Amino acid sequence: MVPSASDAWETALDDLRDTLPERTVQNWLDPIAPLSLQTDEGAPTLRLQVPTPFGIQYLRSRFNQEINQAVTQAVGEPTEVEYKVAPEDERPDEIVADPDSSEQPESPSDSAPPATGRSTPSSDASVSNPEGDTSPPRPASDARGPAASPDQSPSPASSRSTSSEGPSRPHPSPVADEAEADVAGEAAPTPEELASIERSGAGSADERSALYEKAQEHLRPEYTFDEFIEGDGNRLARSAAYAVAQEPGSTNYNPLLVYGGVGLGKTHLAQAVANYAIEHNTAEDVLYVSSDRFTSQFVQSVRENRIAAFSSYYRQANLLIVDDVQFFGEKEKTQEEFFHIFNDLHQNGKQIFLCADRAPSKIPGIEERLLSRFQWGLSADIQRPDLETRIAILQRKAARQDIEVKPKVLELIAQRIDSNVRQLEGALTRLTALVQLEEGTLDLDTARRYLREHTDEEATVLDAAEIIEQVADYFRLSEDDLLSRSRKQAVAQARQIAMYLCRELTEESYSHIGTRFGGRDHSTVIHAYRKIDEELESDTGLREDVSSLESRLRNQSLSSPL
């Protein structure tokens, strides 16, 4: 039995609430009114009424696939969705512009359509939304505000004041609510500016090629698979990355997410994939970018009215590599944009390679729908290198720099520094530089003396205050939380981990550590230490957390010159 239009839309809306952020549903989908469900000719067509022309353009560009799938599932057979613009007297004041008008007419008589070969629909025209139509909308206004119709001047709510008091924003729209800036200090665009910037074209080929040229500049030629030392702790990640570099998009590792602590080789591996694909031409367009650069580019594209070029730039990549994706946490608009780019690339068989400093499930502030996509393919961790691997890394470093170092010296360095490849290589560079400056000999005794005096060896014994600060930051808690009497599971476990690390990485007694944690008894610290020590044997997630924190703390105690 075919449902009614209202029943079909209500069922589809319930499904969409499970896949889209609640605020998106409230702002863009709840205002939609179902009109009719036509089933007399061909495939069923659900007609929906949308408050504004801009709303139609936004829905078609951002949620076309999700809406079509939800409606088809609700009706029970492939169904087209057709949008109808609400009558003009029922539209909100914020956006009254024609969706296909990219410029504000210079005068009321200037009503000719833009030179795009597309007609301008009237306010009561229906806009078809066939399955698979993902063409981007034209902007609803220019930077000065929404375009006025020939017989209507802009209303106060839809115009920007040019007085010294600044722009008037009496009626915030859903668009403004959705456009919070992801970079601290960036002001959110006004409703009129957002109406102007919504996907106005793909950007020229010259613009996109220039962006690719800039992205390629971030690759370091020495980061190759030949220079990456394989060991037990990184063998899976290295093998999977090499397979991806040879045949991007053709393996089961899509996406491939490599995670591990600081300085263990994630960036080296990511750039090795990019360098290999470029050198051997296994992918036509290779794009390597850090999450921070991606966010900055996105914010800049909003400010410069170039969201379309930004989106086109990333969607045409055959191999997209994003480093440090954990920094997408809490950046809602950046995550939403990346979600759509990810979907487009994955559905078209393009390869995605991601790096993070922890397992996907441990990344805070990532939306569930994006997190689930991170886990679609293969997640491979990189663990701290064992002694043999560390020695091999130092041997490769010495050979690359044409430095003669005795095996016993390399072994000493590898024994003293065991948590971070950057620290390991940095210690060798610093040691040889110091020896050369004093014209000394790099023997074992000299190495011991220099490691003790110049690598600040004793700085590896940290202060409890530093550990508390790092643990609180890692688990997104405050230091007061760790020192409080709260028995919440997340707080209690973080506190026990902090106590464990204080005992492991400082010379303080159990009693002194208890004093640091709000005057607790030494028996509490002993219990916390033993509990974490026992659970490390069987709890992989806990082991990853402790390892990441140790890497952070050791990295802080011994800065690398690289």
Distances (CA, A) of 318 to 189, 201, 247, 281: 32, 21, 11, 11
* Topology of the domain comprising 464-557: Chromosomal Replication Initiator Protein Dnaa; Chain: A; (1.10.1750)
Helix (H) or strand (E) holding 148: none
Handedness of CA 37, 42, 43, 47 (dihedral sign): negative
Burial class (CB in 10 A: 0-12, 13-18, 19+), 95: buried
Helix (H) or strand (E) holding 452: helix 444-454
Q: What is the mean pLDDT of each run of 10 residues along the chain (562 residues)?
A: 84 85 80 86 84 77 83 86 76 40 35 33 36 37 36 34 35 36 40 41 50 64 89 90 93 91 88 93 90 88 83 91 90 91 92 92 87 90 85 85 80 77 80 71 73 52 80 91 89 93 81 86 89 87 86 61 34
pLDDT at position 444, please?
76
pLDDT at position 439, please?
65
Distances (CA, A) of 558 to 456, 506, 553: 7, 15, 9
The domain 387-455 is classified under which CATH number: 3.40.50.150, 1.10.3720.10, 1.20.120.80, 1.10.8.60? Answer: 1.10.8.60
* Topology of the domain comprising 1-101+123-140: GMP Synthetase; Chain A, domain 3 (3.30.300)
Distance between CA atoms of residues 183 and 331, nearest Å: 8
Q: Which two tokens stand for residue 509?
A: 């007694």
Distance between CA atoms of residues 438 and 454, nearest Å: 13
Q: What is the pLDDT of residues 119-166, one digit of tens each?
A: 333 333 333 343 333 333 333 333 333 333 333 333 333 333 333 333
Query: Tokens 């003293």 label which residue?
Result: 416
Q: What is the pLDDT of residues 19-68, one digit of tens each?
A: 787 777 877 888 899 998 887 767 788 989 988 777 787 787 778 888 98
Handedness of CA 350, 353, 358, 359 (dihedral sign): positive
Name the architecture of domain 215-382.
Answer: 3-Layer(aba) Sandwich (3.40)
Q: What are the strands, taking DSSP E only, across 41-138?
A: 45-50, 80-85, 126-129
Q: Which two tokens stand for residue 383?
A: 């663990």
Question: What residues contact residue 436 under an 8 Å CB cut-off, 6+ apart?
Answer: none
Mapped onto helix, strand or coil, the DSSP state of residue 440 is coil
Distance between CA atoms of residues 526 and 514, nearest Å: 9
Mapped onto helix, strand or coil, the DSSP state of residue 80 is strand
**Which is nearest to 238 in space by CA: 250, 230, 246, 248?**
230
Q: Which two tokens stand for residue 229?
A: 């030392």
Distance between CA atoms of residues 221 and 122, nearest Å: 56
Domain ranges for the chain: 1-101+123-140, 215-382, 387-455, 464-557
CB atoms within 10 A of CB 401: 12
Residue 554 carries which DSSP code? H
Distances (CA, A) of 265 to 350, 359, 420, 473: 24, 15, 9, 23
Q: In the chain, helix, strand, coil percent, each to 5?
A: 50, 10, 40
Distance between CA atoms of residues 517 and 450, nearest Å: 36
Mapped onto helix, strand or coil, the DSSP state of residue 464 is helix
Mapped onto helix, strand or coil, the DSSP state of residue 500 is helix
pLDDT at position 403, please?
76
Question: What residues contact residue 183 under an 8 Å CB cut-off, 6+ apart?
Answer: 295, 296, 299
Distance between CA atoms of residues 327 and 338, nearest Å: 13
Question: What residues contact residue 380 under an 8 Å CB cut-off, 6+ apart?
Answer: 236, 237, 240, 256, 257, 258, 259
Q: Which two tokens stand for residue 396?
A: 């490769």
Distance between CA atoms of residues 491 and 395, nearest Å: 43
Is residue 255 reached through a cis peptide bond, with omega within 30 degrees of 0 on the bond before it?
yes
DSSP 411-435: HHHHHH--S-HHHHHHHHHHHHHHH
